[in-house]
């Protein structure tokens, strides 16, 4: 095994695709929870072709320090990234830190990222300052500002009406004006505490603000297919980092495609209870993964690409049916006796034990 590893190191440069899901539970996937989850056929198929990690842990139980640890291999006390960067934060991942992309680019790799960065949104902290040739995505979390196309959120009781410019659901709702907005506890509201909307970047330039949540993951999938095709055509190995905005609240997915109900429809609030919205978002995530894997297969890159799939932290207990399923790592004793969270933000296993393929 050691000899083989040395030969691989000396003689070949495998492509690398790293997929990182936002706020996802260990039990959200059929390959971990086959009796309960049937929303991930593409990922379940990948399980049969590779290795499942049953005891994989993120570097933190909230977004920013987890992502810093994933990309640098160093825990927060070493990078100084120990909490989430917020919309008003001035800092970011220090330029002295070495990311995977920083290492691979000098070795001839094309490096690209699609998705949520959340390691600093000032220009000097964006992905291209940390080794990435190309970037399509959000510099911060998608709940850090209002949007014209909000998704379901437990803090936003009128989420179908929360648009930046007034009116409801992209202008078609019955409620109008400021009276239709939830208060600052709803970050996607027009009265959100950040006073702004989240922009979409291409490289270092803002191309859309507010970002359209309905088309977000379709764009990520298209970027991934284009990026790997371009690298393959140039004969270059590549590192692709896919940091999905799934499955963080507000749940962002193409409701018209996966739910059959437009987000500004009067019936949107009557979608089935339980995990209806969450299951639909998981299905879109799974299809997005399938799209990228399909692109690799069509290009004949399946046997020369290392694909890794995981998440940044567990689902939040406080997100109810809109949050991830951390089963079986639920910490029921803690929740029953102290009423505390055992998922996202906690150091209980549900907060940092992640799916892994």
Provide the β-strand partners of residue 19.
Answer: 242, 309
Task: Say which residues have a Cβ less than 8 Å from residue 189's Cβ, sequence separation at least 6.
Answer: 146, 156, 162, 181, 182, 183
Alpha helices in the chain (DSSP H): 2-11, 41-47, 63-72, 76-79, 100-104, 216-233, 255-258, 276-298, 332-338, 349-352
d(C-alpha 354, C-alpha 7), whole Å = 31
d(C-alpha 70, C-alpha 310), whole Å = 10
Residues acting as catalytic residues: 63, 118
The length of the chain, given as a count of residues: 357
Provide the β-strand partners of residue 353.
Answer: 57
The pair phi, psi for residue 286, each rounded to 5°, is -60, -40
Which single residue is written with the structure tokens 């020369």? 304
Residue 346 backbone zone (phi > 0: left; psi -120 to 50: alpha; other: beta): beta
User: Both tokens of residue 25?
Assistant: 């539970």
User: Both tokens of residue 82?
Assistant: 């120990």
Contact 70, 99 (CB under 8 A): no
Task: Say which residues have a Cβ less than 8 Å from residue 4's Cβ, sequence separation at least 6.
Answer: none
The pair phi, psi for residue 185, each rounded to 5°, is -70, -15
**CA triplet 192, 196, 201: central angle to 5 degrees?**
130
């Amino acid at each position: 095994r050691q000899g083989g590893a040395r030969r691989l190191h000396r003689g070949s440069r495998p492509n690398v695709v790293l997929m990182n899901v936002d706020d996802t539970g260990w039990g959200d996937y059929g390959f971990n929870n086959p009796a309960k989850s049937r929303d991930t056929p593409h990922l379940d198929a990948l399980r049969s072709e590779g290795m499942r990690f049953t005891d994989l842990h993120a570097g933190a139980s909230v977004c920013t320090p987890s992502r810093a640890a994933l990309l640098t291999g160093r825990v927060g006390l070493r990078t100084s990234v120990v909490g989430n960067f917020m919309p008003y934060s001035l800092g970011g991942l220090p330029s002295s830190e070495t990311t995977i992309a920083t290492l691979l680019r000098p070795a001839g790799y094309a490096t690209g990222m699609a998705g949520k960065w959340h390691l600093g949104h000032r220009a000097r902290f964006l992905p291209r300052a940390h080794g990435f040739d190309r970037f399509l995505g959000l510099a911060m979390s998608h709940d850090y500002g209002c949007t014209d196309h909000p998704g379901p959120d437990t803090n936003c009781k009128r989420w179908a009406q929360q648009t930046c410019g007034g009116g409801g659901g992209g202008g078609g709702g019955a409620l109008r004006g400021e009276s239709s907005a939830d208060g600052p506890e709803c970050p996607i509201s027009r009265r959100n505490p950040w006073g702004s909307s989240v922009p979409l970047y291409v490289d270092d330039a803002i191309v859309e603000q507010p970002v359209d949540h309905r088309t977000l993951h379709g764009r990520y999938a298209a970027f991934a297919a284009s990026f790997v095709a371009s690298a393959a055509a140039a004969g270059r190995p590549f590192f692709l980092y896919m940091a999905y905005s799934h499955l963080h609240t507000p749940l962002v997915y193409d409701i018209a495609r996966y739910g059959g109900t437009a987000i500004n429809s009067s019936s949107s609030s009557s979608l089935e209870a339980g995990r209806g919205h969450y299951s639909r978002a998981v299905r879109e995530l799974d299809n997005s993964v399938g799209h990228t894997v399909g692109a690799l297969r069509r290009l004949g890159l399946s046997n020369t690409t290392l694909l890794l799939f995981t998440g940044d932290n567990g689902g939040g207990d406080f997100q109810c049916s809109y949050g991830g399923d951390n089963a079986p790592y639920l910490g029921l004793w803690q929740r029953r006796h102290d009423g505390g969270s055992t998922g996202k933000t906690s150091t209980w296993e549900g907060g940092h034990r992640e799916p892994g393929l």
